[in-house]
Amino acid sequence: ETGVTQTPRHLVMGMTNKKSLKCEQHLGHNAMYWYKQSAKKPLELMFVYNFKEQTENNSVPSRFSPECPNSSHLFLHLHTLQPEDSALYLCASSQFSGGFTGELFFGEGSRLTVL
């Protein structure tokens, strides 16, 4: 079983659809992250949750809505997206203790295409 699991792996949606991305970590970590990776651009941090509390929202449009019901699960709810939102969405987890000192473990990503 992989440490960080993301579903679905691929998603195609229209601009008026509502969908959700799911992430689950089996590593006992207390921090979870959503990153966006677009072609030819660096990974962009979207949201950070420490102990289920959102600690960072990196100026992400409201059409992306995160949810963290517990320290093992993270969702990204999507609605009325734009074609430029097409990207690879990566979930990651880490053990956070007052600062980043360790390793980020990434899921395999959800590749999103918005038509």
Partner 1 sequence: RKEVEQDPGPFNVPEGATVAFNCTYSNSASQSFFWYRQDCRKEPKLLMSVYSSGNEDGRFTAQLNRASQYISLLIRDSKLSDSATYLCVVAAGNKLTFGGGTRVLVKP
d(CA 71, CA 74): 8
Q: Does 90 bind partner 1 (CB under 8 A)?
A: yes
Per DSSP, the three-state class of 6 is strand
* Stretch of residues binding partner 1 (CB under 8 A), selected from 15-23, 62-70, 77-85, 101-109: 101-109
Nearer to partner 1, 1 or 16 (CB): 1
Q: Does 60 bind partner 1 (CB under 8 A)?
A: no
Q: Does 47 bind partner 1 (CB under 8 A)?
A: no
Residue 52: in which H helix or E strand, if any? none
Cβ 92 vs Cβ 74: under 8 Å: no
Nearer to partner 1, 85 or 93 (CB): 93
- Minimum distance of partner 1 from residue 73's CB (angstroms): 18
E-only strand ranges, the chain: 4-7, 10-13, 18-25, 31-37, 44-50, 53-57, 64-70, 73-79, 87-94, 105-106, 110-114
Q: Does 27 bind partner 1 (CB under 8 A)?
A: no
Residues of the shown chain interacting with partner 1 in the complex, contacts defined by CB under 8 A: 40-43, 45, 48, 50, 55-56, 90, 96, 98-101, 103-104, 106-109
